[in-house]
Amino acid sequence: APIKQPTDGQRLAPDNRAYNRLLRGLRWQGEHGFAILIGRWKTLRHTTASPRRISDIVAAALHLTHFEYKYLLQSS
Residue 32 lies in a domain: yes
Q: What is the structure's pLDDT at 74?
A: 54
| Dihedral sign for Cα atoms in the order 38, 41, 45, 51 | negative
pLDDT (tens digit per residue) in 22-66: 999 989 888 888 888 888 888 788 888 887 888 888 888 888 888
Q: What is the structure's pLDDT at 17?
A: 92
Higher pLDDT, 50 or 20: 20
Q: Which domain does 19 fall in, by range?
A: 14-68
Looking at the 3D structure of the chain, how many domains does it have? 1
Q: What is the structure's pLDDT at 76?
A: 41
Q: What is the structure's pLDDT at 72?
A: 53
Q: CA 59, CA 47: separation in Å to the nearest integer?
A: 14
- 52 near 58, Cβ under 8 Å? no
| 75 confidence band (pLDDT: 50, 70, 90) | very low
Residue 26 lies in a domain: yes
Residue 35 lies in a domain: yes
Residue 8 lies in a domain: no
Residue 5 lies in a domain: no
